Amino acid sequence: VIVMPHSAAETIYQAIESIELIDPHTHINPHAPASRTLADILGYHYYTELAHSAGMPKEPIEEPDLAPRELVRRLVENLQPLENTSQYHWLVAICQKFFSFQSDRLDSSNWEALYDTAEKTMSAADWSQTVLQESKVRAVFLTNDFDDSLEGFDTETYIPCLRTDDLVFKFHQRETQERLERSSGVSLNGSLSSLRDALRQRFEHFSAKGGRACAISLPPNFEPTLVNEGRGTNAFDAMLHQSESAAPAQKQAFSRTLFWMLAELCDEFGLPFDLMIGVNRGVYASGVYQGQDLYDSRVSLIQYRELFNAFADVKFPVSVLASVTNQELVSYAWIFPNVLTNGHWWYSNTPSFIHRDAQARLEAVPANKQIGYYSDAYKLEFVWPKFDMYRRVLSNVLADHFVGMNGWSEERAIELGHRVLRGNVEEIFLKQS
Amino acid sequence: VIVMPHSAAETIYQAIESIELIDPHTHINPHAPASRTLADILGYHYYTELAHSAGMPKEPIEEPDLAPRELVRRLVENLQPLENTSQYHWLVAICQKFFSFQSDRLDSSNWEALYDTAEKTMSAADWSQTVLQESKVRAVFLTNDFDDSLEGFDTETYIPCLRTDDLVFKFHQRETQERLERSSGVSLNGSLSSLRDALRQRFEHFSAKGGRACAISLPPNFEPTLVNEGRGTNAFDAMLHQSESAAPAQKQAFSRTLFWMLAELCDEFGLPFDLMIGVNRGVYASGVYQGQDLYDSRVSLIQYRELFNAFADVKFPVSVLASVTNQELVSYAWIFPNVLTNGHWWYSNTPSFIHRDAQARLEAVPANKQIGYYSDAYKLEFVWPKFDMYRRVLSNVLADHFVGMNGWSEERAIELGHRVLRGNVEEIFLKQS
Amino acid sequence: VIVMPHSAAETIYQAIESIELIDPHTHINPHAPASRTLADILGYHYYTELAHSAGMPKEPIEEPDLAPRELVRRLVENLQPLENTSQYHWLVAICQKFFSFQSDRLDSSNWEALYDTAEKTMSAADWSQTVLQESKVRAVFLTNDFDDSLEGFDTETYIPCLRTDDLVFKFHQRETQERLERSSGVSLNGSLSSLRDALRQRFEHFSAKGGRACAISLPPNFEPTLVNEGRGTNAFDAMLHQSESAAPAQKQAFSRTLFWMLAELCDEFGLPFDLMIGVNRGVYASGVYQGQDLYDSRVSLIQYRELFNAFADVKFPVSVLASVTNQELVSYAWIFPNVLTNGHWWYSNTPSFIHRDAQARLEAVPANKQIGYYSDAYKLEFVWPKFDMYRRVLSNVLADHFVGMNGWSEERAIELGHRVLRGNVEEIFLKQS
Ligand SMILES: [Zn+2]
Ligand SMILES: [Zn+2]
Ligand SMILES: [Zn+2]
């Protein structure tokens, strides 16, 4: 019997596959972290939006009060054109790993049996614990509204992260203002100090509850700058008194004012500030839920020049939406001590973009500044297949570039893999500063 | 004897190489589809512009009344610096396939024999049929002027496509206006309805003659929007009465008005609207014929947001000129049901750009929305080598990513290859809607 | 014994590794071309900026009057996070090649012995000759200030190149004006002809001393255009009389005026004009020396349209800072006879960017228009590892694309490698025109 030796890529993969993960960005609901039926899995926007893109109307997907089994039936009938996508690959991987699915295609001949098996499996009381364990996941970061009470869950496993999009971009809405006043207990009296007090109360709340990061997603045209006190007060006044009808220039000045305060508070509270740069919301307004956002790839990190210079002590893990911005990210992380590379986001989260982006980072960004990956998952079941896609690509880059071209040992390549997969998440987010 | 098994890439290539093609975009002249001498082949702008770029003056190339043999002689003397290019690779492939050429270099020692063989071969009465047959090409789409009579050729083999650049971008020229009036029989009286009537007559004509698509190439700064009736009428008036001297803002408003009408007519007539986005004409004004156009790669599909939202029932096969726009194309095709990926255009039509662009599409765009390739050929002989370059790259992607990384069978990978190479062309352009 | 045949890549590498080099762009000081201690090597901005980026404060790096050994000690303690970078790979390669270093890591356990060995080795009187010889380097191009006397060195080995950044972008500084008057002996009297005379004197000086190129680095927003005489005179007047306080529009008009004169003089003197496009200076103003520059990748060669059309007889070897601009460079070099591709610059000078950029060029740009690589080195020791990185990538592209995909012989691939590595440098820069 001839035993073929593992390739370097396979050896490295096996080693990094065993690393226990901390997922530094998800949208998991800590009160319902895992799925209950296959509808929770197939209802993920990647499947609904791709099925819709391939020709399925929106109405049968979003019909009110639709039973989960019926949603799955309808979607399964429309999956065939998606079989080539990486997203479909995650789906089959989940079914195989967690529900003993034997096929590599989900279709009308096999979905019902799968549905039943999945439902039964997921009904176990400790299902979410099982998923975490089988996925070798120790903890996941959440995406919490600024007025989240952060109560009723284990913050060691489900780590709070203060998401601030509403504050920066929806503050002209009366509802946002009221949510901030209510949750902070601070009355917004028109002075910027009242606003700062309210925000600081929220940072105190998050810090007390184990929050480990502040995060925001940003449109391509956003350019954070320091707005002077008078201009900022004026803009704040317009938000409070004109609300939605405030002039665009006022909204922009206010967004910059509040964003800058967040950066100051990240500095004060020692929190990394995750910047997810480049998304335009609602570009396809008739799309399915969460399947409407796109982008203009003409964005540059030069827009963040003033921010990166002003906050030398704040760590900015940066995600870019389009691969075309990745080289700028590599260069800015190579030069600015406070700029870090963070994961492979959304439209760049497919193998070929991950490959080229990860390799460029590994060649030029200091190893301690690279957060390899986050799942962005809404349900725990997705953490594993998404990370596994990344691990496959990472193993190939480590094997080809570092072992093959640079002559590294496999052990050394595995160490680098560990660092970007796990070590840096601890160093950057979890170490007490 | 040890027989080496074919690699997956080779097996897949062999299978997809046998697929009969329908080429969804060419510039073939149906009245003279094939070449008559080697000058028709070497006179292709890829060779004249590259020879000129490498140092050959324009004058000896474009001397009036130059005999074909003399043109070939002059160009052959200047081909050496081009031997590395993909375009040269097509040339040698054509000579080897069709004219029994034995060398892999075309030079002063062998061009005359080749010229004679080629001339003799091409003089056969059924040469164009032979080329179609040896190239396994069933039909090719044309690029027809809006006032083309579409008579005198077999529209099953040479499928009409209504090209609209002149209408949208040259309507300030008196000649264009007259061509439209003459061909449509509609008098342009200054009302937008007269314009619409004239255009509709052209759509009726093309549909009656088997036209299957409308197409246009667009400069990087074009942004189609709905122009209101009053503004549009005003702009139309400026075109009719001021012609070339109309203000740029009037020309722009008119371009948008007419473009929008074309989209409405595509909707009404059920025609896909091919958008070829990103070219600047005449950047190198002293260049050889058809070798003067370049681009500004700072273009975004966000410019087409209003169009894609307004015409949900029109299929928009989109080609982008620069690979940097490919990720946007992938993302927009992933989200918008009416946006399709279309081929690898012009400056992106070389193996490494095709590889990265095709792989990104295959990983994330539903399989039924990808038109893999078109040749853009001016003469039939070029359909084969261009498609073959694409097939080689496609086979590698299918083998490496789908068979290798995703664990697909070769059969399944071949099915996907068939779909993007042939199946989708029929589904998208030829199925009666 | 089974002897494994070399792979095509390895055979090609061995062949092109033996080619004697002429490095067409460096920052070597001809009066001190090689390093004297390890501090000259580790003090290269790539190491100081990466160590700083990884967490090392700037002060210990830039402490005044720091002894070289102490600088090395401090940096070595901060190198661990950089071990993955290509820059670190150059460092180890230098130590192994020139100082018999046996390890693949430079750390606190081995740096002192290395320091001593290196110091001793470098103290040899003919050290720079030894480096040139062991690196198989015949000559290197310099980067000379316009007022450099160009005396005291062998201009056959150290080839002068007139660097013009100060003239174009710092002429509002009194010092630049005085340097020009002093070096040229021409008094700037406010007429553009006095400026032209002064510049021409500098071109005469450089030509007389064996200068072979004019060069400049340009910010992303620069757009060279012909400024009319009146406007240019006005801008020149503002530089002379308002200096730093001149309006930005005056500075811009002057930059364009002077840049255009340089192009005219390149034409007159038959010098290639190296354009290095895309850098923003001082983006991270608190960074270490030479570690402050970044960029906005939203730049297009369309900005150079007027220039390329106006100066048909000037060769423009173009370097782009970001890989996203490489496809434009490929396309412009494919169309414009006077546009050439030049090396892999700075933030694009890592293996994966070189791979994709070099392959795209080799597929579509005539072979006689590609200058494969330059080292950009400040000390001779860096020429070898940088070129070697390029040679490795080039060998892979030649083997995979040309031998593997296109069926070329290895000999033919090696010829192409020779041309881009060496032949074109002679043809483009050194041949008397
Ligand atoms: Zn997210
Ligand atoms: Zn075309
Ligand atoms: Zn330089």
CATH number of the structural domain spanning residue C231: 3.20.20.140
| Secondary structure (3-state) at A330 | helix
Under 8 Å between Cβ of B314 and B259:
no
Q: For residue A214, what is the DSSP state?
A: E
What's the B26 CA to ligand 2 centre distance in angstroms?
Answer: 6
CA C222/CA C213 separation, integer angstroms: 21
Residues C46 and C151 placed together within one structural domain of the fold: no
What is the longest distance spanned by two Cα atoms in chain A?
81
Residues C160 and C223 placed together within one structural domain of the fold: yes
On the 0-12 / 13-18 / 19+ scale of CB atoms within 10 A, B345 is buried
**Exposure on the CB side of residue B68, measured as CA atoms within 13 A:** 15
Q: What is the mean pLDDT of residues B153-174?
A: 98
Residues of A with CB under 8 A from a CB of C: 298, 300-302, 305, 308-309, 312, 324-325, 327-328, 330-337, 356, 359-360, 362-369, 401-402, 405-408, 416
Residues B261 and B114 placed together within one structural domain of the fold: no
User: Which residues in chain B have Cβ-Cβ distances shorter than 8 Å to C405?
Assistant: 351, 392
Of the residues A122, A154, A171, which one is the last residue of a structural domain?
A122
Of A237, A255, A239, the closest CA to residue A172 belongs to A239
What's the A90 CA to ligand 1 centre distance in angstroms?
Answer: 17
Beta-strand pair B213-218/B273-277 = parallel
| Secondary structure (3-state) at B71 | helix
What's the B371 CA to ligand 2 centre distance in angstroms?
Answer: 15
| Secondary structure (3-state) at B215 | strand
Give a yes or no: residue A82 inside a domain: yes
Q: What pLDDT is recorded for position A433?
A: 56
Residues A93 and A143 placed together within one structural domain of the fold: no
pLDDT (tens place) for every residue of chain A, 433 residues total: 455 567 999 999 999 999 999 999 999 999 999 999 999 999 999 999 999 999 999 999 999 999 999 999 999 999 999 999 999 999 999 999 999 999 999 999 999 999 999 999 999 999 999 999 999 999 999 999 999 999 999 999 999 999 999 999 999 999 999 999 999 999 999 999 999 999 999 999 999 999 999 999 999 999 999 999 999 999 999 999 999 999 999 999 999 999 999 999 999 999 999 999 999 999 999 999 999 999 999 999 999 999 999 999 999 999 999 999 999 999 999 999 999 999 999 999 999 999 999 999 999 999 999 999 999 999 999 999 999 999 999 999 999 999 999 999 999 999 999 999 999 999 999 986 5
Give me the total of CB pairs closer than 8 Å, taking one residue from chain A and one from chain B: 104
pLDDT for B433 beyond 70: no
What's the C374 CA to ligand 3 centre distance in angstroms?
Answer: 9
The alpha carbon of residue B201 is apart from the nearest alpha carbon of chain C, in Å, by 39
User: Which residues in chain C have Cβ-Cβ distances shorter than 8 Å to B351?
Assistant: 363, 401, 405
**Ligand number nearest to the C-alpha of B213:** 2
On the 0-12 / 13-18 / 19+ scale of CB atoms within 10 A, A224 is buried
State CA C145 to chain mean position distance.
14
Beta-strand pair A21-23/A137-141 = parallel
CA C314/CA C216 separation, integer angstroms: 15
Q: Which residue range(s) make up the domain with A103?
A: 37-122
B50:C366 CB<8 A? yes
Of the residues C122, C141, C159, which one is the last residue of a structural domain?
C122
CA C251/CA C105 separation, integer angstroms: 49
Q: Encoding tokens for residue A90? A: 């995650």
CA B366/CA A53 separation, integer angstroms: 7
Give a yes or no: residue A26 inside a domain: no
Angle at A249 between CA A246 and CA A252, to 5 degrees: 95
Q: What is the mean pLDDT of residues B145-156?
A: 98
Of C161, C193, C153, the closest CA to residue C24 belongs to C161
CA A32/CA A34 separation, integer angstroms: 6
Give a yes or no: residue A7 inside a domain: no
What's the B274 CA to ligand 2 centre distance in angstroms?
Answer: 10
Q: What pLDDT is recorded for position C34?
A: 98
| Secondary structure (3-state) at C76 | helix
CA A307/CA B153 separation, integer angstroms: 65
Q: What is the mean pLDDT of residues B229-254?
A: 98
Q: Which residues contact B418 (CB under 8 A, 6 or more apart)?
A: B16, B19
In the numeric block, the tokens 């364009």 are attached to: C256
Question: Sign of torsion, CA B395 B396 B401 B405?
Answer: positive
Of A399, A423, A424, A425, the closest CA to residue A413 belongs to A399
Of the residues C91, C122, C153, which one is the last residue of a structural domain?
C122
User: Which residues in chain B have Cβ-Cβ distances shorter than 8 Å to C330?
Assistant: 347
H helix and E strand count, chain C? 19, 9
Angle at B337 between CA B331 and CA B342, to 5 degrees: 65
The ipTM estimated for the assembled molecules is 0.97
C82:A405 CB<8 A? no
Q: What pLDDT is recorded for position A3?
A: 53
On the 0-12 / 13-18 / 19+ scale of CB atoms within 10 A, C249 is exposed
CA C285/CA C154 separation, integer angstroms: 37
CA C326/CA B82 separation, integer angstroms: 19
B351:C302 CB<8 A? no
Residues A90 and A217 placed together within one structural domain of the fold: no
Under 8 Å between Cβ of A95 and A114:
yes
CA C381/CA C127 separation, integer angstroms: 10
CATH number of residue B91's parent domain: 1.10.2020.10
Q: How many structural domains is chain A composed of?
A: 2
Q: What pLDDT is recorded for position A1?
A: 47
Element (H, E) at B370: strand B370-371
Give a yes or no: residue C239 inside a domain: yes
Residues C80 and C133 placed together within one structural domain of the fold: no
Residues B108 and B196 placed together within one structural domain of the fold: no
Give a yes or no: residue C327 inside a domain: yes
What's the B140 CA to ligand 2 centre distance in angstroms?
Answer: 12
Under 8 Å between Cβ of B176 and B166:
yes
Give a yes or no: residue C2 inside a domain: no
Q: What pLDDT is recorded for position A2?
A: 52
State CA C279 to chain mean position distance.
13
B224-239 CB burial, b ≥16 within 10 A, e <16: beebeeeebbebbebb
List of long-range contacts for B175-184, beta carbons under 8 Å, 24+ apart: B177/B239, B177/B240, B179/B145, B179/B146, B179/B147, B180/B146, B180/B147, B182/B147, B183/B146, B183/B147
**What separation in angstroms does the CA of B395 have from each of B21, B138, B359?**
16, 22, 11
- Tell me the average pLDDT of chain B: 97
CA A201/CA A209 separation, integer angstroms: 12
**What separation in angstroms does the CA of C264 have from each of C269, C270, C307?**
9, 10, 10
CA A277/CA A219 separation, integer angstroms: 6
Q: Encoding tokens for residue A310? A: 């002003």
Residues C241 and C272 placed together within one structural domain of the fold: yes
Give a yes or no: residue A116 inside a domain: yes
> Which residue ranges in chain C fall short of pLDDT 70?
1-5, 432-433
Residues A329 and A234 placed together within one structural domain of the fold: yes
Q: What pLDDT is recorded for position C169?
A: 98
Picking from A298, A331, A357, A424 by the largest number of C CB atoms within 10 A of its own CB, the best residue to mutate is: A331
B336:A82 CB<8 A? no
Residues C113 and C175 placed together within one structural domain of the fold: no
Q: What are phi and psi of A216, to 5 degrees?
A: -160, 145
Terminal-to-terminal C-alpha distance of chain B: 56
Under 8 Å between Cβ of B42 and B72:
yes
Q: Which residues contact A96 (CB under 8 A, 6 or more apart)?
A: A102, A104
In the numeric block, the tokens 């090597």 are attached to: C41
Q: What pLDDT is recorded for position C1?
A: 47
User: Which residues in chain C have Cβ-Cβ distances shorter than 8 Å to B54?
Assistant: 337, 366, 368-369
- Of B300, B335, B407, nearest to A298 by CB-CB distance is B300
Under 8 Å between Cβ of C417 and C423:
no
The neighbouring-strand residues paired with B228 are: none
User: Which residues in chain A have Cβ-Cβ distances shorter than 8 Å to B402?
Assistant: 84
CA C57/CA B407 separation, integer angstroms: 49
Residues B99 and B245 placed together within one structural domain of the fold: no
Give me the sheet containing A21-23, strands edge to edge: A21-23, A137-141, A158-159
How confident is residue B1, by pLDDT bands cut at 50, 70 and 90? very low
Residues B234 and B101 placed together within one structural domain of the fold: no
Q: Which residues contact C33 (CB under 8 A, 6 or more apart)?
A: C128, C131, C140, C158, C379, C380
- Of C104, C293, C353, nearest to A360 by CB-CB distance is C353
Give a yes or no: residue B9 inside a domain: no
Q: Encoding tokens for residue C102? A: 């046996």
CA A53/CA B340 separation, integer angstroms: 10
User: Which residues in chain A have Cβ-Cβ distances shorter than 8 Å to C91?
Assistant: none
| Helices (H), ranges, C123-278 | 127-134, 165-169, 174-184, 192-208, 229-242, 248-269
Instruction: List pLDDT tens digits, range B46-82.
Output: 999 999 999 999 999 999 999 999 999 999 999 999 9
Under 8 Å between Cβ of A378 and A44:
yes
Of A325, A352, A337, A288, the closest CA to residue A66 belongs to A288
Under 8 Å between Cβ of C321 and C346:
yes
Under 8 Å between Cβ of A263 and A306:
no
| Secondary structure (3-state) at A383 | helix
Interface chains of chain A (3 or more CB pairs under 8 Å):
B, C
Picking from B328, B394, B398, B427 by the largest number of A CB atoms within 10 A of its own CB, the best residue to mutate is: B328
